[in-house]
Structures are given as structure tokens and as C-alpha cells.
């Protein structure tokens, strides 16, 4: 029996995690839940699962992680505000099932320095796929990681063809049902850029050896290419309950969490190169990943401001990545990376992005 804390329990990942726990009562016990502001929903969840320990907001979530006895903490908080909970889980010795990629990307070496070997288990479908495929060989046998992308709602469009796209169009993801920020990030492919940084940090593979390919069917969630020419792919229908269940009980598989592919039905899978001219966010992410320090935090924070401005009608779609690039270009990193310097870099990045956005509309 694994005792589980779910942070972000009212969101998409959190509610699906509760589905997994509900279906496997002899395997998992829910001992704590935290949400952002949805007090009514978290109260319903607490009653349904007989959970005594609940929290609202990032600060309370961090305290919950430190004080409640648990084996696994699933961090499904959205955004870099989840960094404190990530560090708390690692420092408390919990297994961290990480769906909050931003905390690893922003925290970088601080998070890696706090983690014991194999303490972080990825929950993103792409990184879960890579973790599964990497079990097929040693680190020295890996040639490269191949991260798949659905391409989002604007796959196949040129940069010019995305000039006037609306927020509604950006939220019309062809495969996944996600929140506003993540769905928009998938439309710009900023999400894929963040995943490249995450893959580098999780698996220690050089940025030059991490490739993004477009796979619109979202069946192959990522691949590992080995030095002998073999490629191991993880394939399954798009259902987050599979990587969530692995995150909760890694390296063990939980039966019945997802439906397998039906090999009796005819189907086809396609793979396409990423159009870097139309979607420059991935190359920009590799640039900030190589720079390290507070650059990934600046990339992420300026993106969050730009996405909000886009949905508020204050910034065109293409202005999102343009704004990130200008903020990154203006950034001067601190001498030391600390929690405080990260917070200051994020504050600066948000103010810089807001100023650039305001200047565009002036």
C-alpha cells in the first residue's frame, strides 16, 4: 500500500490520479490533497476519499507535503509556483511523481541537487515514455532521445498563416484535454520546448541529442534511439492515467488503467519534421537550457505573462514567443542560483514581458 499526496487534485491530472487511486484501493491510499482555489471541489474529494489533510494554495501545499506521512507526492500544480512543493517533497524523502514540469525546469540544479537517485518519476506522457524505453539499455548505449509532439491545432501552418489566430482556435487541441495555459503552450510548442529542457534534466542527455518530431496521432509518446540503430518506442492510446499510474507506483505497472491499442484494426502513424521557422519556441528553449542558471525561469515566466495577454486580447498569437525571445535576450543572470534569485528573476521577467506587451499596444 502506497500512501499518496496529490497536489493540484482539482485539475485534469489530479482528478485522473484520483480515478487511478479509486480503482486500486488495495494499492494506494490517498492521505492528502491540495488545490489552488477550488475549495468546494476539494471538500467533495476529501469527503469521498475520507482524507483528513487538505490544503489550499501553494504555501499550504508545501506545508502539507512536509508534515503528512506519505510515500509518494504527485505534484500536478500548474506553473513554477509548484517549485516549493517539489523541493519539500524531495527534502522529505518522498518519491516525487512530477507532473509540474515547470518546477524542475525553473529549479534546475537546485531540484537535481535536492533529489536522490530515482527519486523523481516523470508523469508527463513523453517523459514517462522515455523512462520506460530507457529501461531497454544502459545510459552509454543511448544515441538520442526523440520527443514526439502532436503539432497542436496549427500543425502544417506557416508563420504567416498564424498571424490572426484567435484564443478559441489556440485552445482547440486535436488530442488532449488540458487547461488554458498548457493547451496554449501546446499551440505555440512552448510546451514542447519546456519538455526538451525537462528531458535533459531528467535523463542527462545533451541538448544536441534530443530531437522533436511531429506525430499527430499521439500514439507513440516518445522514443529512444540506441547506438546499435535500434529505436524503442512507447505506444498507447492518449490517456494520462497510464503515466500517472506509473508515477504513483514506479517501476510497477498498474493493471487496467488504460485500454491497449487494437492491433486488429487498420491504422497508420505518421512522423514529420518540426517546422522551426513557424515554431521557434523549441530552438529557443534549447538556447535557454544550455545557458542554464535563471534563463529557463525567465523563459517560463515571460511565457505565462504573454499567454495571459494573448487571451486578454492584448497580444497576437505570434507575439507570445516573440515576447519570450526579447525578454530572454535582455536577461542578465545572477551570480548564484538560489530560491531567492529564481524568484527575483521570475519577477523581473514578468515585469519586462508586461512592459513589452504594453509597448506593443501603445
CATH code at position 309:
1.10.1740.10
Give pairs for 170-175: CB < 8 Å, separation 24+.
170/310, 170/317, 174/150, 174/216, 175/150, 175/216, 175/218, 175/238
Q: Is residue 202 part of a domain?
A: yes
CA angle 45, 40, 23 (to 5 degrees): 15
User: Quick one: pLDDT at residue 173?
Assistant: 78
Q: Is residue 286 part of a domain?
A: no
Average pLDDT of every residue of the chain: 95
Same domain, 162 and 61: no
Handedness of CA 147, 158, 179, 343 (dihedral sign): positive
Task: Tally the residues of the chain.
Answer: 362
Phi, psi of 149 (to 5 degrees): -130, 140
User: Quick one: pLDDT at residue 80?
Assistant: 87
User: Quick one: pLDDT at residue 260?
Assistant: 93
User: Quick one: pLDDT at residue 157?
Assistant: 95
If residue 358 lies in a helix (H) or strand (E), which one and from where to where?
A: helix 339-361
The pLDDT-based confidence of 331 (bands split at 50, 70, 90) is: very high
- In CATH, what number is assigned to the domain containing residue 105? 3.40.50.720
Question: Residue 298: helix, strand or coil by DSSP?
Answer: helix
The pLDDT-based confidence of 37 (bands split at 50, 70, 90) is: confident
pLDDT of 149-178, one tens digit each? 999 999 999 999 999 999 999 998 777 666
If residue 34 lies in a helix (H) or strand (E), which one and from where to where?
A: strand 28-35
Count of C-beta atoms within a 10 Å radius of residue 182: 21
Same domain, 45 and 184: no
User: Quick one: pLDDT at residue 79?
Assistant: 84
Residue 347: pLDDT above 90?
Answer: yes
User: Can you tell me the distance from the alpha carbon of 70 to that of 94, in angstroms, rounded to the nearest whole number?
Assistant: 7
- What range defines the domain where residue 273 resides? 125-238+262-279
Residue 180: pLDDT above 90?
Answer: no
Q: Once rounded to an integer, what is the mean pLDDT over residues 326-340?
A: 95
Q: CA torsion angle for 115, 117, 121, 124 (degrees, to 10)?
A: 80
Among residues 287, 307, 283, the alpha carbon closest in space to that of 295 is found at: 287
Q: Is residue 59 part of a domain?
A: yes
User: Quick one: pLDDT at residue 182?
Assistant: 86
Residue 89: pLDDT above 90?
Answer: yes
Rg of the chain in Å (alpha carbons): 20
Q: Say whether the peptide bond before residue 272 is cis (omega within 30 degrees of 0).
A: no
User: Quick one: pLDDT at residue 362?
Assistant: 63
Structurally, the chain folds into a number of domains equal to 3
User: Can you tell me the distance from the alpha carbon of 143 to that of 129, in angstroms, rounded to the nearest whole number?
Assistant: 16
Residue 305: pLDDT above 80?
Answer: yes
Same domain, 129 and 211: yes
pLDDT of 11-21, one tens digit each? 999 999 999 99
The pLDDT-based confidence of 111 (bands split at 50, 70, 90) is: very high
Amino acid at each position: 500500500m502506497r500512501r499518496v499526496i496529490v497536489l493540484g487534485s482539482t485539475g485534469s491530472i489530479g482528478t485522473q490520479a484520483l480515478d487511478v487511486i479509486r480503482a486500486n484501493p488495495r494499492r494506494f491510499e490517498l492521505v492528502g490533497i491540495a488545490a489552488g482555489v477550488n475549495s468546494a471541489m476539494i471538500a467533495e474529494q476529501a469527503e469521498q476519499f475520507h482524507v483528513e489533510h487538505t490544503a489550499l494554495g501553494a504555501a499550504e501545499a508545501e506545508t502539507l507535503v512536509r508534515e503528512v506521512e506519505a510515500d509518494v507526492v504527485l505534484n500536478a500544480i500548474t506553473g513554477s509556483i509548484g517549485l516549493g512543493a517539489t523541493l519539500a517533497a524531495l527534502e522529505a524523502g518522498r518519491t516525487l511523481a512530477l507532473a509540474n514540469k515547470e518546477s524542475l525546469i525553473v529549479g534546475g540544479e537546485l531540484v537535481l541537487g535536492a533529489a536522490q537517485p530515482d527519486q523523481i518519476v516523470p508523469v508527463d506522457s513523453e517523459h514517462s515514455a522515455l523512462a520506460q524505453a530507457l529501461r531497454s539499455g544502459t545510459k552509454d548505449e543511448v544515441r538520442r532521445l526523440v520527443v514526439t509532439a502532436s503539432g497542436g491545432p496549427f500543425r502544417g501552418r506557416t508563420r504567416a498563416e498564424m498571424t490572426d489566430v484567435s484564443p478559441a482556435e489556440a485552445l482547440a487541441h486535436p488530442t488532449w484535454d488540458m487547461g488554458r495555459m498548457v493547451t496554449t503552450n501546446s499551440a505555440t510548442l512552448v510546451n514542447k520546448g519546456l519538455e526538451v529542457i525537462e528531458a535533459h534534466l531528467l535523463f542527462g542527455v545533451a541538448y544536441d541529442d534530443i530531437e522533436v518530431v511531429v506525430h499527430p496521432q499521439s500514439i507513440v509518446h516518445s522514443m529512444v534511439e540506441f547506438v546499435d540503430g535500434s529505436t524503442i518506442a512507447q505506444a498507447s492510446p492518449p490517456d494520462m492515467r497510464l503515466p500517472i499510474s506509473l508515477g504513483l507506483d514506479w517501476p510497477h505497472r498498474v493493471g487496467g488503467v488504460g485500454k491497449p491499442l487494437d492491433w486488429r484494426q487498420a491504422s497508420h502513424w505518421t512522423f514529420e519534421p518540426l517546422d522551426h521557422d513557424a515554431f521557434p519556441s523549441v530552438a529557443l528553449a534549447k538556447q535557454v537550457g544550455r545557458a542554464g542558471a535563471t534563463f529557463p525561469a525567465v523563459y517560463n515566466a515571460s511565457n505565462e505573462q504573454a499567454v495571459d495577454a494573448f487571451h486578454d486580447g492584448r497580444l497576437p498569437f505570434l507575439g507570445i514567443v516573440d515576447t519570450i525571445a526579447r525578454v530572454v535576450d535582455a536577461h542578465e543572470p545572477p551570480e548564484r542560483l538560489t530560491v531567492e534569485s529564481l524568484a527575483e528573476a521570475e519577477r523581473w521577467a514578468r515585469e519586462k514581458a508586461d512592459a513589452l506587451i504594453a509597448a506593443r499596444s501603445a
